[in-house]
Amino acid sequence: MDKEPFIEQRASATGASKLGELATPCLILDAERMQRNIARLRTRLDHLGVSLRPHLKTTKCVEVARRVMASPAGPATVSTLQEASRFAEAGVRDILYAVGIAPAKLARVLELRAQGVDIAVILDTAEQAQAVADASRNAGVRIPALIEIDCDGHRSGAAPTDRDRLIDIGRRLADGAELRGVMTHAGASYAARGSDALRQCAEVERRSVVEAAAVLREAGFACPVVSVGSTPTAHNAVDLTGVTEVRAGVFVFFDLFMAGVGVCRIEDIALSVLATVIGHQRDKGWILVDAGWMAMSQDRGTSKQDVNHGYGVVCDMAGNPYADLIVADANQEHGIIALRPGSNDKLPDLAIGDRVRILPNHACATGAQHGSYHVVRGASDIVEAEWHRFGGW
């Protein structure tokens, strides 16, 4: 999909129509970069013959969701039941709640299903499967569930080789609920470096769920969905034989961490925080801005990568990075801009009241600090729209 859907033209809630008129700090979304990122992954997955079930946890925004989903009804992946409810209100009907289900949350799942939402849950234990089956029988509704598979020891999930565990879960689900398939997330890919390592992660991810699905099918269970997903593996898989869908989320915006992994360029990052210069400490080589860790988040994920970007990379108002300029430190509402250690560049001449845009380490975490996106296009300073985002669980 090369052409971007219509973007509603309206001023922000503050009445501002240009970046220089917005109250800072605030979140800026470059719709041009975002659409390129979406088109890039869609083209790739079309070539591999699998569908995209985008993870909406990064954006938490109806307007963005409509641009990344295959249709207004989905499919979609969420990380909270609040997300599921909000997207359901907007017409999304095919949702995977991709966090291990807690039995106490099944009532909300049933409420959504009663509203016509085909929401599925994930689990990796017999206890969860039993709870889902019991709730299904009591409600007279078969709740669909996918078994989470551990493909790399990163987090949760059943081992694909643990035949007894997989079959036990399948049998419990069959008694009242629905076994819809298997899913996994290659979280270890976030620590991989280089295309060879990322391709290997993608193949391990694929093989794990395909093997688990085979175990279940040999035991007599239908396993129609075989789901994989992470942004690094989605962009590096070369063979997805046996997989039915791919889940990924941060690819819509990208961030500095993903650039460090090697799946995007800094020029692809669509999200930034607009900040205003509020002071100088010239003897220390500091420029102070009004975007501290409350605006950027405390995520310092790039500190473990080859290039440490501090709290973010500093750009001019058009989104072009200054040479070696980062948010080196942050307090709650103060960001301290400085040159990278060892840099021979000079600080830009930024006066009190000048504005900068800061690229985030982690798009999900930075986005969570803000209530809306101010939408621009490329280097333009015209704010085309304000798209609201939400939080909560």
The residue extents of the domains of the chain are 55-248, 266-388
Residue pair 322/272 in contact by the 8 Å Cβ criterion: no
**Both tokens assigned to 39:** 């088109």
C-beta of residue 231 within 8 angstroms of C-beta of residue 216: no
Considering the entire predicted model, what is its pTM?
A: 0.93
The secondary structure of residue 194, as a DSSP letter, is S
CA distance 278 to 291: 10
Note the pLDDT tens digit of each residue in 50-81: 999 999 999 999 999 999 999 999 999 999 99
Q: Which two tokens stand for residue 207?
A: 């093989």
Q: Which CATH superfamily is domain 266-388 in?
A: D-serine dehydratase-like domain (2.40.37.20)
Beta strands at 245-246 and 225-228: parallel, antiparallel or unpaired: parallel
Nearest to 272 by CA among 347, 178, 374, 142: 374
Cβ atoms of 132 and 119 within 8 Å: the answer is no
pLDDT 10s per residue in the chain (393 long)? 333 443 344 444 446 689 999 999 999 999 999 999 999 999 999 999 999 999 999 999 999 999 999 999 999 999 999 999 999 999 999 999 999 999 999 999 999 999 999 999 999 999 999 999 999 999 999 999 999 999 998 889 999 999 999 999 999 999 999 999 999 999 888 888 889 999 999 999 999 999 999 999 999 999 999 999 999 999 999 999 999 999 999 999 999 999 999 999 999 999 999 999 999 999 999 999 999 999 999 999 899 899 999 999 999 999 999 999 999 999 999 999 999 999 999 999 999 999 999 999 999 999 999 999 999 999 999 999 999 999 999
In whole angstroms, what is the distance from residue 287 CA to residue 349 CA? Answer: 10
Helix, strand, coil percentages for the chain (3-state, nearest 5): 35, 25, 40
The structure tokens listed for 252 are 């819509």
Please give the class, per CATH, of domain 55-248: alpha beta
Would you call 16 exposed, middle or buried from its count of C-beta atoms within 10 A (0-12, 13-18, 19+)?
Answer: middle
Helices marked H in the chain: 31-48, 62-68, 81-89, 106-114, 126-139, 163-174, 195-218, 231-234, 256-261, 293-296, 363-367
